[in-house]
Amino acid sequence: MPNAILSVFDKTGLVEFSSRLVQLGWTLIASGGTARLLAENNLPVTEVADYTGSPEILSGRVKTLHPAVHGGILARPTGEDHAALQSLGWDYIDLVVVNLYPFEGTVAKPGVTLEDAVENIDIGGVTLIRAAAKNFERVTLLCDPADYGQVLTELETGAVSVETRRRLAVKGFVQTAHYDTAISNYLDPHTPFQMQLYPVQHLRYGENPHQSAVLYAYLPDGGPLGGRVLQGKELSYNNLLDLDAAWHACLSYTRPTIAIVKHLSPCGIASDDDISVAFTRALACDPVSAYGGVVASNRVVDENMVSAMGSLFVECIIAPGYSQGARELLAKRKNCRLVEAESMQITPDYELRSVNGGVLKQSVDQGDPADTEWKVASQRQPTPAEWQALRFAWKACQHVKSNAIVFARGEATVGIGGGQPNRVDCVRMAVQRSGENAQGAVMASDAFFPFGDSVQIAAQAGITAVVQPGGSIRDQESLDAANAANMAMVFTGTRHFRH
């Protein structure tokens, strides 16, 4: 009879899988809680300690680390190796079912102690995985419950193919590499930075047809932006960049918010109790640029929002969900891709960017630090309406390429300028795009004004209040320009460059 050893933390589907193994004539060997679960379900199982003749020691720290176990796994399908096992009273182990203590889940918990983290470093499980993976020519490794079904199907029709065993072995080595990386990064964040990425989609091309591209995810089954595509052809490299930028922007707000992005630049952001109204106001900021852009919503997309889109051509939409009516309406837009996000969190909390010969790593800009204090620097205080618009514009400008300028009224952008080498040109861009809507609007700038000219141009366009970091040696010039125009000016003390 073939032998299987089972030692799992995640017991999803284990009883059903083991029951089928027994029906197929397999002998079950298991350790600790795994053995107890199988016995409680009336499955014949031999404890590892009984099989090896050696008890678990050190409060269960040592269970499967025994020559009877690893000899049975690593033995080759030769008469000599089999005879060596039998001379010691042991036999082949043909199937290894194992998964690991949740180290990453443990250290992600608030207040976790070093002792807790160390106790969740799996030793026996990792060793079982590596041994089974090494001997994949004979042994089948199962380190993911998602693979139980395929292995059962193959066993029921004969034997597990060598191709499947090899694939599962690779999966095991990938898992242990990821596990070791997580441990080393936790114990010493200053060690060489390591990470595990999984290719989840080979893209048709990169930014241009002559560039190759692949989407990698942090999880082997990760979808685009951690979500899943519900409709439309596969996402392109540029789609993914734009969707990511739009998703970051709309998640900056707790109120129902829409962000429209084109070529990595927001062309409209708005909030409203009604997500369809938020869309209409975001679109009004720059309807020309919005054509062929992507849309992000931090609320479920409903029929009213789809109706508000009218005939606008949209490449992609990302949202936490879609109503049935919205899905039916959007199904008519064959070229519109729909992405359903599975989380409203921005993960990971760092960003990577390649440079020649290396990689830059920085923490994600999550907005103003908790100790940020806004100060009114002008002679005039902002009105309540201006305060609302200033706070909205300040968040919006954090997602615009530097030198970022955002005009806003209420909770909607009315003009955006960014990505130019000088700030005054970005102000002119915002003035041009906002037109008459600049009258009575406020302005946000991601960094300080080195001269007073930008404030003067904004005042001439009708801007009534400004929020900026301050800190320039020429702050007084900007303040003088604001006071001369009876504008309110607020310093945040925090810069939000985005290159």
Residues annotated as part of the active site: 134, 263
Calculate the alpha carbon distances from 471 to 30, 394, 425 in Å: 66, 17, 21
62: left (phi over 0), alpha (psi -120 to 50) or beta: beta
Query: Could you tell me which of 99, 142, 101, 123 has the C-alpha nearest to residue 4?
Result: 142
* Interacting residues of 123 by C-beta distance below 8 A, sequence separation 6+: 61, 65
3-state secondary structure of 293: strand
Total residues belonging to the chain? 499
CA distance 408 to 463: 9
3-state secondary structure of 439: coil
Calculate the alpha carbon distances from 164 to 8, 101, 140, 151, 355 in Å: 21, 25, 8, 8, 38
3-state secondary structure of 248: helix
Backbone φ and ψ of 43, nearest 5° = -100, 135
- Amino acid identity at 115: E
3-state secondary structure of 406: strand
Which helix or strand (DSSP H or E) is residue 176 part of? helix 162-187
CB 481 within 8 A of CB 459: yes
**Joined tokens for residue 242:** 């734009």
Q: What's the N-to-C CA distance of the chain in angstroms?
A: 64
CA distance 366 to 116: 29
Calculate the alpha carbon distances from 76 to 125, 126, 166 in Å: 21, 20, 15
Query: 3-state SS of 127-144?
Result: HHHHHHHHCCCCCEEECC
Calculate the alpha carbon distances from 208 to 12, 212, 238 in Å: 44, 8, 9
Q: How many CB atoms lie within 10 A of CB 118?
A: 13
CB 18 within 8 A of CB 8: no
CA distance 37 to 414: 62
